[in-house]
Structure 1
Amino acid sequence: MSAVRITTADGQAVAVTSMTDTVPNWATRYLGGWWSAEPTTELDEPTVSADLDEAELQALADVVEQGDAETVEYAGAELLVVRDGGLVTAVQEDRSLAYRWDEDLQLLRIVGTDETDIATTAARLARELIRAQLVADGWAILHASAVTGADGATILTLGDKGAGKTTTALTLARAGWQLLANDRIFARVDEYGVVQVLPWPSAAAFGFGLLDAFDLFETVRTRLASGETMHPTQHQKVTDALLAGRREPLWKANGKGELKPQFWPDQLTSWLSMPLATEGHAVGILYPQITAGAAPRLTESSRGIRPGDFFTAVTEDRYPDVFGLLPAPGDHTALREHLDALSHQGVVMSHDPAANAAVLKDAVARLGV
């Protein structure tokens, strides 16, 4: 058996085990850039165990078939779920995946027939087990990007979808800041009234236009052409376009959203020269707005923290909490008040990376960082 312990900077931990090295290696690469990942032989924490096992897959499928199954949309596929006290058994027939969560043992078992499927699923659910520990300990999840300085001082970027959170994080990371998150963060007010922040590990998606604007398109294309690979969730059309040097955006079949290059967390550093941060404390907030053709400039902003800035089990639509891992969300009033009390700055940006970098430098100075 191979096992790895994943631990946050705040001390929450989960073990990932398997009879194949692929599963813990995947969790290490997926989560270890922002959280630590160390081999282990002791399983004293909540554990995700994932293996290739057709016999066990069938046995769990039989449990679901014989029970009173609930149908849930999960990860884009139908999931059949049976609950029996602290045991939750589930199966996704379309993906040949089955799950069993034992609350008493704090053990989440995953079996399937495809090594990549069980590895990706194990890493994601390991993150969910740590998320549950963090939420129980008073942490909230914010839709925000964040960059951190050498002393841990962290600038958050909040805004509605398309406002420029990722562009802001990428611009500042390219200017020497460490990337703590490009989409979500954990945040909590400590006993001294300081807003502490932790990263939410995930693959990172950057559109063709953003890569091209930062002169990173050729870097990525060259890496791919040399035989290196990107995150396996990346659509083949994206890979083909990168290799062919086509920079035009690609769109999903339903027209809702762009198909984007997907990077492993470690590739943000090794390919894109963006070091990662494992923790920090918030010292200011940027509220950007991207306006095509506009002159980048500083603006006054009264936006403030909104309920939609918080990410909860209720707002999750792709991976609902079918295993009952998450505790009830806490009261975020104190966190909202402390965030609103931080220095903040509005910024209008365009599609000119040099001009954006200049105005963001001024914005950071305005925050007193």
Structure 2
Amino acid sequence: MTTHAVRLEAAGASVTVLSAERAVTDWAARYFGQWWKAAQVAPDSVCAGPVVVAEVSPGAYADAALEVTRAPHTSAVYAKAQMLLARDEAAGVIRGVSPEEALAYRSEPAAGSLTVIGCDTEPVATATARLAREVMRGTLLRSGWTVLHASAVVHEGRVILTFGQKGAGKTTTALALAARKGLALLANDRVFVRPNDSGGVAVLPWPSAAALGLGLLDGLGWFEVVQERLEAGESLHPTQDGQVTEALRAGRREPLWEGGKELKTQVFPDQFPNWFGVPLATGGVAGALVFPRIERDATPAVENGDGRGLTDSDFMSGKTEDRYPDVFELARVDDGGGVAEARHGVLGLLARLPHHAVVLGHDIDGNADFLAKVTGWA
């Protein structure tokens, strides 16, 4: 049986994805490739370092699920689904099964090995990518990186970081500069940060799909692009709600809401350069901080007052990371956003950089012109 392998690398950390299913390793290469260095490698070259093995086999899944349910086990919620977990302390093995998703797992933390088993290729590929990212996260956090809740764009190595809770305008700010001013997109929702040897803050991307509301998609001029791609048989990320796909195909641009939550387009990382002509950046050094607020009819302007500074709440830690608890001991740190010492060191350095509290409207061109001037790169 042929085995395929893709190695992911960032800032000295690495993880290799192995599978007999080429679609699984292709998914990982596509998802991480332009943000984390992803490369096809010879399977027999994988002799050290963290490895995530993916297997698509209904029979193997059934055997693995039975092994968990027959053993003493506990229950947790992982990725919004029930996960049953069985630990073999003597062997150093953690087994898990998610019946709702028909996925089973075997983790050997000391050996740096994780196996994902499922019945269908796409769920296995999605879970494998998610857990490969968790392995990388753990390696980076243990080497002093921490995770900020921010969007980011890069101009000539200088990173503009944008902060705020959901709806504040992080994505609008980043994509206005990327789409209209040619800045490279580094991250849509979070980034890795760590002090560098020059007294600055190095920034790395956190690869993920990007959630774009239909209104923002229209404002950026990308709605028709997505329509054409869908009509040509291409697809967006599978986590996208079917109602959004239906609206896109029908040309309905008004925002969609369900239970008080906006349903958004879910864009693969590689679709930014391939569909929209937005380049992706692989890193940079923090140069400015932006704290936006969106008002529909506002003229872009600097907010009055001292503006907001960073706090511990701007890091992805505690409850913000509870969707993916470290049940397989991949991160092996007390806090999924990074240790307190690392966060405080970054906070001190970022506090020295220019801070810009701004109000933005719905005019993407106006926002981009204003932001380029305020952040000092134009």
Q: Same fold (TM over 0.5)?
A: yes
| Equivalent in 352, 358, 365 of residue 354 of structure 1 | 365
Q: Which amino acid aligns with 1:279?
A: G
TM-score (norm 1): 0.95
> Which stretch of structure 1 is more off in the superposition, 59-68 or 181-190?
59-68
Supply the distance in 1 between the matched residues of 2:325 and 2:107 (Cα, whole angstroms). Answer: 15
Q: Is 1:213 matched up with 2:219?
A: yes
Matches within 5 A, 1:94-113: 94-113=100-119
> Which stretch of structure 1 is more off in the superposition, 126-135 or 287-296?
287-296
> 1:2 touches 1:19 (CA, 8 Å); kept in 2?
yes
Supply the distance in 1 between the matched residues of 2:110 and 2:81 (Cα, whole angstroms). Answer: 28
> 1:4 touches 1:28 (CA, 8 Å); kept in 2?
yes
- Deviation string 1:284-341 (CA, Å, 9 cap, x unpaired) is 1111111222221122543111111101255312221111112234121111111111
Segments of 5+ residues of structure 1 without an aligned counterpart are none
1:169 is displaced (CA, Å) by 0.3
Q: Is 1:58 matched up with 2:59?
A: no
**How big is the alpha-carbon RMSD for the aligned residues of Structure 1 and Structure 2?**
1.4
Counterpart of 1:227 in structure 2 is: 233
| Equivalent in 305, 316, 325 of residue 321 of structure 2 | 316
Tell me how many residue pairs correspond in the alignment.
363
Supply the distance in 2 between the matched residues of 1:138 and 1:297 (Cα, whole angstroms). Answer: 37
Matches within 5 A, 1:278-293: 278-293=282-297
Supply the distance in 2 between the matched residues of 1:313 and 1:343 (Cα, whole angstroms). Answer: 28
State the identity as a percent.
45
- Deviation string 1:190-237 (CA, Å, 9 cap, x unpaired) is 232110000000111111000111211111111111222211221221
| Equivalent in 183, 205, 210 of residue 177 of structure 1 | 183
Classify the secondary structure of the residue corresponding to 2:310. coil
> 2:215 touches 2:253 (CA, 8 Å); kept in 1?
yes
TM-score (norm 2): 0.93
> 2:307 touches 2:356 (CA, 8 Å); kept in 1?
no
Matches within 5 A, 1:302-341: 302-312=307-317, 314-326=319-331, 327-328=333-334, 329-330=338-339, 331=341, 332-341=343-352
Segments of 5+ residues of structure 2 without an aligned counterpart are none
Counterpart of 1:25 in structure 2 is: 26
Supply the distance in 2 between the matched residues of 1:239 and 1:54 (Cα, whole angstroms). Answer: 29
> 1:205 touches 1:263 (CA, 8 Å); kept in 2?
yes
| Equivalent in 193, 196, 199 of residue 193 of structure 1 | 199
| Equivalent in 270, 276, 281 of residue 274 of structure 2 | 270
In the TM superposition, structure 1's runs of 4+ consecutive aligned residues that sit over 4 Å from their partners are none
Supply the distance in 2 between the matched residues of 1:35 and 1:313 (Cα, whole angstroms). Answer: 25
Supply the distance in 1 between the matched residues of 2:173 and 2:281 (Cα, whole angstroms). Answer: 16
Supply the distance in 1 between the matched residues of 2:253 and 2:276 (Cα, whole angstroms). Answer: 17
> 1:250 touches 1:260 (CA, 8 Å); kept in 2?
yes
Counterpart of 2:98 in structure 1 is: 92
> 1:157 touches 1:285 (CA, 8 Å); kept in 2?
yes
Q: Which amino acid aligns with 1:166?
A: T
